[in-house]
Amino acid sequence: MTHRHGLNWDKAQAVLQRERSAFAAKMPRSRDLSAQAGQHLLFGVPMHWMNDWSTPFSLYVEAAKGARFRDVDGHEYVDFCLGDTGAMFGHAPEPVGRALAAQAQKGFTTMLPSEDAPWVASELARRFGLPYWQFAMTASDANRFVIRWARAATGRSKVLIFNGCYHGTVDDVFVDLIDGAPVQRDSLLGQVYDLKQYTKVVEFNDLAALEAALQDGDVACVLAEPALTNIGMVLPDPGYWEAAQALIRRHGSQLAIDETHTISTGVGGYTRAFGLQPDIFVIGKPIGGGVPCAAYGFSAELAQRVQAAKRSAPPGHSGIGTTLTANMLSMAAMRANLAEVMTEAAYAHMFQLAERLASGLREVIARYQLPWCVTQVGARTEFQFCTTPPRNGSEAAQILDSELEQIIHLYLLNRGQLITPFHNMILVCPDTTATDVYKLISCFADFVAETVA
Ligand code: PMP
């Protein structure tokens, strides 16, 4: 018998085979669509990551609303993945739907600002504390632009990131720390530049390494999530950010905080909840209630430097921005979402359920004495295959186990519950109910009971 993370691996493999067969047997329509898709969609899916789920073929969605969705074979699911945060406030929130319907009568995109633009910017300033804003279509683009602005404004060339981070498909951040040395990620396709030239990478929670990397005075910006959320979860040590911010300031670098995921912490993100003072703030995915858009804000001081850099640049393309950015449709979605969906009341509900979820999962882990733990960032919960939460990207990477993750995910999916692929992230939204959460805990317990060593 082989053991893996406290489970009997032979039993886990048997469960996997059974669950794959069960899935295939009850999904004739998804199977047909997958076969059709194979004819003209490269990789058989409209975006190749869609093959990274635990299912033997793609699960096709018919409709998604609130915390739920229905597949094309008529099965209902509670969605704890929520589009990996894109639908963190529920699928198709009513106010956003109404705003989109109204805007649909008034045009989608003109490359001119609509009346919603100043309202949205002032609301972002009120919430997140940074006075000046720009927009993008995705968080990836927002981060790409932020790096460019920071370099242009400071005249410095380098960006500093934390090992194990993810900030979207921004080439600059695909550098890992392996045995203490920066290494360009070899999964990156078609990348011909040496990214290590302008990217520095240090471990999260390591102040000495941060200081050493800042010392040369060549870092334009430190791009960071306040807690790592894309390699499992890694929380900052108590006092880490106070000290890290002081170092960044002392060495004349800018701090860009990417709150695309940690917006789960509260209405003002982790930044407001924990009193961070970034120079740049990035938010994507859920900000438009699931409609593609993202935003980034600057401190007053950096905004001045950014504007000066633009003014003093030769005329021509800045390399920043895209044609559909800040289009009327996305602005209407952001306004409705900020005004009526991302509310204190919505968060209060989400926090309460996330607490129940985390304590329920912990109880199951303790009952079966699994060497696992549960980490939480507000409405975002993650179970991880280690007894104490990882303190940095290297530790977090070591305990990822995609094979085991996929078995658990498929087991839950076949019982009407979807969690995020790639690791074990579970989101609750304003429409999730306590019953949904208890059912998830109970299915998780059933899986463990069936496979525990
Ligand atoms: N920043 C963070 C922290 C993210 O987690 C992600 C996506 N997971 C992104 C940026 C990129 O978002 P998108 O794929 O929508 O561009």
Q: Is residue 390 in contact with ligand 1, taking CB distance under 6 Å?
A: no
Distances (CA, A) of 61 to 58, 92, 126, 234, 258: 9, 14, 37, 32, 30
Question: What is residue 422's predicted lDDT score, i.e. its pLDDT?
Answer: 87
Question: What is residue 210's predicted lDDT score, i.e. its pLDDT?
Answer: 98
**85 C-alpha vs ligand 1 centroid, how far in Å?**
9
Question: What is residue 264's predicted lDDT score, i.e. its pLDDT?
Answer: 98
CATH says 3-79+344-451 is which class?
alpha beta
Ligand 1 atom with the smallest distance to the CA of 85 is 8
Please state the ipTM of this predicted complex. 0.99
Hey, which residues does 219 pair with through a beta bridge? 158
Q: How far is CA 203 from the centre of its chain?
A: 19
User: DSSP states of 42-56 as a string?
Assistant: GGGSSSGGGG-SSSS
For the domain spanning 94-341, the CATH number is: 3.40.640.10
Pocket test for ligand 1, best of 84, 260, 422 (most atoms within 8 A of CB): 260
Using a 10 angstrom Cβ sphere, with 0-12 exposed, 13-18 middle and 19 or more buried, the burial of residue 435 is exposed
Question: What is residue 91's predicted lDDT score, i.e. its pLDDT?
Answer: 98
Question: What is residue 114's predicted lDDT score, i.e. its pLDDT?
Answer: 97
**208 C-alpha vs ligand 1 centroid, how far in Å?**
28
Give the type of residue at 362: R
Report domain extents, the chain: 3-79+344-451, 94-341
175 phi and psi, to 5 degrees?
-125, 125
pTM of the model: 0.98
Q: Is residue 89 in contact with ligand 1, taking CB distance under 6 Å?
A: no
Average pLDDT, consecutive stretches of 10 residues, N- to C-terminus, the chain (453 residues): 94 98 98 97 97 96 98 98 98 98 98 98 98 98 98 98 98 96 96 97 98 98 98 97 98 98 98 98 98 98 98 96 98 98 98 98 98 98 97 96 97 98 95 98 98 95
DSSP 49: G
Q: Is residue 284 in contact with ligand 1, taking CB distance under 6 Å?
A: yes
Q: Is residue 139 in contact with ligand 1, taking CB distance under 6 Å?
A: yes
Cβ burial 84-109 (10 Å sphere, 16+ → b, else e): bbbbbbbbebebbeebbeebeeeeee
How far apart are the C-alpha atoms of 118 and 125, rounded to whole Å?
11
**167 C-alpha vs ligand 1 centroid, how far in Å?**
5
Ligand 1 atom with the smallest distance to the CA of 168 is 11
Hey, which residues does 183 pair with through a beta bridge? 176
Q: Is residue 168 in contact with ligand 1, taking CB distance under 6 Å?
A: yes
How far apart are the C-alpha atoms of 8 and 399, rounded to whole Å?
17
Contact (Cβ atoms closer than 8 angstroms) between residue 384 and residue 374? yes
User: Which residue reads 């047997």 in tokens?
Assistant: 25
